[in-house]
Structure 1
Amino acid sequence: MAPLINLETEYPIIDSSFRNFCASHGIFSVEDFLIHDLYMLAAFAEQSMSSERLKEGITQVLSIIDEMHQPWLNGMELLEDAKRNKHVLPTGIQGIDLLLGGGVRIGQLTELVGPSSSGKTQVCLQTASNVASNHMVLYLDTGNSFSPERIAYFLGKTNDLASAQDKKSILQKVMSNILCHSVFDIFAMFDVLHQLESHLRYQDGGGGCQMRLLIVDSISLLISPVLGSNSTQGRALMLSAGYLLKKLAHQHNLAVLVINHTVGSEVGSSKPALGDCWKSIPHSRLFVSCDHGSNDYNVSILKHPSMASGKAARFLI
């Protein structure tokens, strides 16, 4: 969901006068409407000299929110969509692909959870290098974790028998298919995702190399700061981000892969960050850990729409 100023071109009613009225009540974006008392806002609009135009603007923003909700689908429509569009993308990591029945699922949001240095970013980089051989990948880097050198390393291992010229050609193709954006706050992520949504509308009708994977490394680095500053608004922003990621995945046939960190719990063990409100967002949750002092990694299913929790596998990177 966008800042109000970004909507004026398409919706002239959301002009500077309307935005100034909203700003006077602490509303600067579509997200702010979701946590505001709209009856009170309408009452303030009634007191203005331009009350009719302000109420028209409020109605317009509400209609934008309504348009962003998916239409109801019956079971048969969902099954047909799954057969036609919702396949899997192999990560290129044998243990994970075997565990997940082929890879991360298109149309769904998959979350990697784990402590620091547990291999989460390495899984994302390996997956990006594998998918980018045939599709476009968007990598949102929130903590300067993206490493083109690691991408090149993974490609070298995969294509170690290829000639030097072929290796160079493969590297150039894969690197050109990975778009990396640095985003350091949740509002920057919203801007990038809205740009992506506009791009995908045009992509869906054409051919060529299409985007199939979106990675956010990591979602917790973007959301944790807003949860700490204002819990009500922070939760609204968090849920809006989750909704938008799932909407992009479903409507445009993307696999969305996000990283989440762990935090300490009251009983002393670690648990996924971002709390109970977030845990309902991902379709699948995978817990990743590393054996201390080795290159052996473990992955287990915390949540999956079609597989039992607790299933586990080992893998190497």
Structure 2
Amino acid sequence: MPRLTAQLSPLLTPELLEKLKQAKVRSVLDFISQDPEHLILKAGISYKEVLYLRKILMSQFSSSGLNGLELYDNVLKSVAVLPSGCASLDDLLDGGLYSMEIAEVVGSVASGKTQFCLQTALQTAANGQTVLFMDTGANFDIVRAHAMLTCKGLSEEEMETILGRIRHVHAYTASEVLGELQKAEELIESEEADSNSIRLIIIDNISAVILPILGNSTLEGHSMMSLIAKAMKSLAYHHSIALLVTNNTVTNMNQTLKPALGKAWLEVPDVRLEISGESSVQITPQGSSQRAGDSVRTCTVTKSNKMAIGKTANFLIADQGFV
């Protein structure tokens, strides 16, 4: 809050301001939060004057409350849905990825996690939104991205426009990921009213940078993981950003697969999706034909507050992406 000045009220004379300064009451917040008896004793003003000044300052600087309808309207204005472009996945996700949420895709190596990220990034960019793609392992394949767009029959000019909306950065360590998230928040704050502001942030692969530091120093590693999670939540909740992260799987003591980042990470994502290997289900999406080289995958919801846990969708990884 701003500093106390004579312009705020006629009662705030230079003499009173000096006394308040000596009592370490320099800002509006300092004055409002102080006990009235302390102000009376230190500044030599009456109880009535203290109450009057507090009323004036709070009327100028405190926010007014919102009723339930106003809060609901604010949510509707701030929430956006970013479709992946794959009908079965978007149906599973109730339309796509939601702003103000962190979605996590879990799967083994070559299960399709990066393809999921690439597909969603291209679809979001095609819809006119800006994407920040944070690459922790040189997984972003611009040739594959160009090929996916080519399969859609787009012109070179259209493809250049779409690819130009994807900001690709490398982040090979946890500290670099944290730094990029902090820079992204600063950039978004400077572009708050800009239609080109970032709407989707992708981190592929988050476990690749966190697991190594968890192994070396538990305290230091968990501290860094907590800072990254806090930065992600700040971007999601304060700036209405959708975040998409990928997480590898590891084998536990029972020889079954589990997410590489354990229980400490469980509360970070709002939505968790698990991609499993080839499905026995044979599907032929409308407008495409399955070929021998196409891979069928199953995506399962394992965490969500709005989707049914255990709900699944099958999709193909084809030349044009997920179908």
TM-score normalised to the size of structure 1? 0.72
**Aligned: 1:198 with 2:198:** no
Partner residue of 1:32? none
Paired with 1:74 and 1:220, the residues of 2 have a C-alpha distance of 41
**Aligned: 1:255 with 2:248:** no
Partner residue of 1:108? 101
SS for the counterpart of 2:94 is coil
**Aligned: 1:213 with 2:197:** no
Equivalent residue for 2:272, pick from 260, 270, 285: 285
Amino acid of the residue matched to residue 250 of structure 1? Y
Tell me the CA shift for residue 314 of structure 1.
0.4
Equivalent residue for 2:157, pick from 139, 147, 169: 169
Paired with 1:298 and 1:78, the residues of 2 have a C-alpha distance of 37
Amino acid of the residue matched to residue 230 of structure 2? Y
Tell me the CA shift for residue 139 of structure 1.
0.5
SS for the counterpart of 2:305 is coil
C-alpha spacing 1:202/1:315, structure 2 compared with 1 (3 Å): same
Tell me the CA shift for residue 186 of structure 1.
0.7
Tell me the CA shift for residue 74 of structure 1.
9.2
Partner residue of 1:275? 262
C-alpha spacing 1:299/1:237, structure 2 compared with 1 (3 Å): same
Tell me the CA shift for residue 202 of structure 1.
1.3
C-alpha spacing 1:282/1:77, structure 2 compared with 1 (3 Å): farther
Give CA deviations for 1:104-141 in whole Å, capped at 9, x if unaligned. Answer: 11111000001111000001001111111211110010
Tell me the CA shift for residue 77 of structure 1.
6.7
Question: For the Cα contact (< 8 Å) 2:97–2:242, is it kept in 1?
Answer: yes
Paired with 1:117 and 1:235, the residues of 2 have a C-alpha distance of 27
**Aligned: 1:146 with 2:145:** no
Amino acid of the residue matched to residue 237 of structure 2? H
Paired with 1:86 and 1:78, the residues of 2 have a C-alpha distance of 12
Question: For the Cα contact (< 8 Å) 1:93–1:316, is it kept in 2?
Answer: no
**Aligned: 1:181 with 2:175:** no
Paired with 2:241 and 2:297, the residues of 1 have a C-alpha distance of 26
Paired with 2:259 and 2:129, the residues of 1 have a C-alpha distance of 30
Deviating beyond 4 angstroms after TM superposition, the runs of 4 or more aligned structure 1 residues are 73-78
Amino acid of the residue matched to residue 140 of structure 1? M
Aligned residue pairs, count = 239
SS for the counterpart of 2:95 is coil
Paired with 2:176 and 2:265, the residues of 1 have a C-alpha distance of 20
SS for the counterpart of 2:210 is helix
Paired with 1:312 and 1:283, the residues of 2 have a C-alpha distance of 17
Question: For the Cα contact (< 8 Å) 1:136–1:177, is it kept in 2?
Answer: yes
C-alpha spacing 1:299/1:75, structure 2 compared with 1 (3 Å): farther
Partner residue of 1:137? 131
SS for the counterpart of 2:140 is coil
Partner residue of 2:112? 119
C-alpha spacing 1:75/1:248, structure 2 compared with 1 (3 Å): farther
Equivalent residue for 2:87, pick from 88, 94, 115: 94
Paired with 1:285 and 1:251, the residues of 2 have a C-alpha distance of 21
Tell me the CA shift for residue 78 of structure 1.
5.7
Partner residue of 2:306? 306
C-alpha spacing 1:78/1:237, structure 2 compared with 1 (3 Å): farther
Amino acid of the residue matched to residue 176 of structure 1? G
Tell me the CA shift for residue 214 of structure 1.
0.3
Tell me the CA shift for residue 175 of structure 1.
1.3
Partner residue of 1:238? 225
CA RMSD in angstroms comes to 1.9
Paired with 1:246 and 1:315, the residues of 2 have a C-alpha distance of 30
- Point out where structure 2 has 5 or more consecutive residues left out of the alignment: 1-65, 280-292, 318-323
Paired with 1:219 and 1:74, the residues of 2 have a C-alpha distance of 39
Question: For the Cα contact (< 8 Å) 2:80–2:99, is it kept in 1?
Answer: yes
Paired with 2:183 and 2:249, the residues of 1 have a C-alpha distance of 30
TM-score normalised to the size of structure 2? 0.70
Tell me the CA shift for residue 207 of structure 1.
3.0
Question: For the Cα contact (< 8 Å) 2:277–2:297, is it kept in 1?
Answer: yes
Paired with 1:77 and 1:233, the residues of 2 have a C-alpha distance of 42
Tell me the CA shift for residue 209 of structure 1.
2.0
SS for the counterpart of 2:168 is strand
SS for the counterpart of 2:302 is strand
C-alpha spacing 1:77/1:280, structure 2 compared with 1 (3 Å): farther
SS for the counterpart of 1:298 is strand
Paired with 2:183 and 2:262, the residues of 1 have a C-alpha distance of 28
